[in-house]
Chain A
Amino acid sequence: MNVMIKALSSHRLAVLTMLLAMHLVFVGTLAQRHLDIWQVQERYFHTWFAWVDSDYEGWSLPVPMVGGYGIGFMLLANLSAAYLTRLRWSRGKLGVHMIHLGVIALLFGELGSSLFSKESQMRLEEGDTLNYSEDVRNWELSFRVLAVDGEDIDVVVPRELLKTGEAVSIQELGLEALVKDVSRPTQEVPRVEFALPGQESVVLTGLDTQDRELKLGGRTVLAALRHRRYYKPYALTLESFTHERYSGTSIDRLFSSLVRLRDPDHGEDKTLTISMNKPLRHKGETFYQASYEEGGASILQVVQNPVWWLPYLSCVLVALGMSTHFITKFSMSRKGRP
């Protein structure tokens, strides 16, 4: 046990882990020639092991290496073991303790962000009201029934549950659909083909501009394949969108959205401006002015990260730790102690 803890807390492991991290960042950066940033994150960083494609003059050899989770875990284990076994509790070591705790908090912060944070978008034209944001990298199958018993119902089947040859059963609607074909997650235009009992096959794609009407037990069900939605208990209305360029150039000077936020649960109804570096924060979500479309559509990036405070805490801990360590060492040297 002691040998294991000694190996785990060794400086050699710390250096090896950092070298692996540098290598992973390097190959992850190179991989962005062929993959987008999200795919790179998924394949190289948010995984225990990664397969690095090494292309050389037409030869492709996937090389295994430790992924982001693996390296983070090794670093965390190394740091924790060193912290708990090598460091002794004393006033003189307070700064070092704080620095170690800060870096551990930083690693946990990154782990928490990768596991719990959600990023999505809201695309609003002037006058639009939305109570959802969309994950444009993911899609889902939606069945909607309008005005049944005084309410509208939206039944959502995530992409992961659609598998060729398997049935999707939705008791709420009395619907049993057999999935006949479904596109791969990497396919640019999502597509799904399914059949309802006694009816012809229905094909839906992500390019459809209108809902497909299905007749089901005497009522109409609207089916659509769409970006994954995150519904919210409040709504945003885009009152107006402002976009200015520097005179005589096509360089953006300013773009901002005047939005009305209505949250019936908290009795809130207020108008605010979202612009670059001036996001709106509401109920744990942050709305950034991300982009726009010519013609007046504003695109807001919606970020939900329950552990957003951890990196700040870790930075404060490390900064305080370094200051404490410096002051302690400085005062010790003044007193003639090493």
Chain B
Amino acid sequence: MLRFFSLLLVILPIALIQWRSVDAPRIAIHHFPAGTLTKREPPLSKDWTWDVPEGWSVEPPQSMRLATYKIPVAESYLELAVSELPGPAGGLLSNVNRWRGQLGLSTISEDQLNRCVADLPVSGQGARIVTIPTPGETVDGEDAMVVALLESPRMTTFFKLGGPASLVASYREAFLGFISSLHRRHPEGSIR
């Protein structure tokens, strides 16, 4: 009995170490429900990925922008600027008034927001679509913009389409289609 225990105490550690050293790693195959894994790409946005539609051209990088696209429309072009800021990025009203200022329009109040803001479902959440000038508003300028805001707990991402009002109006549906096609970078439960 004594010898058996002595032998066991001596052999056990050697056996364990040898067993672990010959327990060589091997090729492993992991299966997941479709849509769990995502393609790893250099991140433009922290939260969103998109496919650039045919015909759009990528403009040189600009500060504060993730990307700038030139979109040919009726022998002219529109510009789509993508930017991202942490948190709520100042809030919807201040951003709307900042964009209105860029078009030379006066500021609006919180109560007037709902006239220029609509919701659009995108990848299981809502995007805010801001139209400037507000539909029905009489303005002097010839330019207009449609902006999509996508909010997440950590970032707000902006897709700002701007250019001559007639072109913006004619391209509006295609732009909304593009926004609807955005994918969340890390959808619920997905892994990289």
Which chain A residue has the least Cβ–Cβ distance from B42?
Answer: A209
Residues in A63-84 with C-beta less than 8 Å from chain B: 69, 72-73, 76-77, 80-81, 84
Check: A115 CB closer than 8 A to any chain B CB. Answer: yes
**Is A195 an interface residue when CB atoms closer than 8 A count as contact?**
no
Q: Which residues of B contact A76 (CB under 8 A)?
A: 9-10, 13
Complex Cα distance A262/B42, Å?
Answer: 28
Indicate if the CB atoms of A156 and B189 lie closer than 8 Å. Answer: no
| A77, B153: Cβ atoms closer than 8 Å | no
Q: Which of B30, B35, B154, B189 contacts A153 (CB 8 A)?
A: B30
Contact, CB under 8 Å: A146 / B28: no
**Segment at the A interface, from B18-26, B115-123, B135-143, B165-173:** B18-26
B39 and A146 within 8 A (CB): yes
In chain B, positions 1-43 with a C-beta closer than 8 Å to chain A are 2, 5-6, 9-10, 13-14, 16-17, 20, 24-43
Residues of B within 8 A of A5 (CB): 6
Chain A residues whose C-beta falls within 8 Å of the C-beta of B9 in the assembled complex: 76-77, 80, 104
Interface residues of A in 141-163 (CB under 8 A from B): 144, 146-148, 150-158, 160-161
Q: Which stretch from A36-44, A53-61, A122-130, A316-324 is at the chain B interface?
A: A122-130
Query: A-B pairs with CB below 8 Å: how many?
Result: 122
A170 lies within 8 A of chain B by Cβ? yes
Q: Inside 8 A of A167's CB, which chain B residues have their CB?
A: none
B102 within 8 A of A: no
The answer to whether B30 and A158 have CB atoms under 8 Å apart is no
Complex CA distance for A291 and B25, rounded to whole angstroms: 29
A111 proximal to B (CB < 8 A): yes
In the complex formed, the residue of A with least CB distance to B188 is A129
Determine if A244 is an interface residue (Cβ-Cβ < 8 Å).
no
Complex alpha-carbon distance, A296 and B188, angstroms: 19
A residues near B42, Cβ cutoff 8 Å? 209-210
A147 touches B30 (CB 8 A): no
Q: Cβ of B46 < 8 Å from any Cβ of A?
A: yes
Report the separation of the CA atoms of residues A158 and B26 in the bound assembly, to the nearest whole angstrom. 7
Task: Contact check, A129 vs B154: say whether CB atoms are below 8 A apart.
Answer: no
Q: Please, how many angstroms separate the alpha-carbon atoms of A151 and B33 in the complex?
A: 4
CB<8 Å pairs between A and B, sample of 29: A5-B6, A69-B13, A72-B13, A77-B10, A80-B10, A81-B6, A84-B6, A104-B9, A112-B16, A115-B16, A126-B154, A129-B186, A146-B37, A147-B35, A148-B34, A150-B33, A151-B32, A153-B32, A155-B27, A155-B28, A156-B30, A158-B27, A168-B27, A209-B41, A210-B40, A211-B39, A222-B39, A222-B40, A239-B153
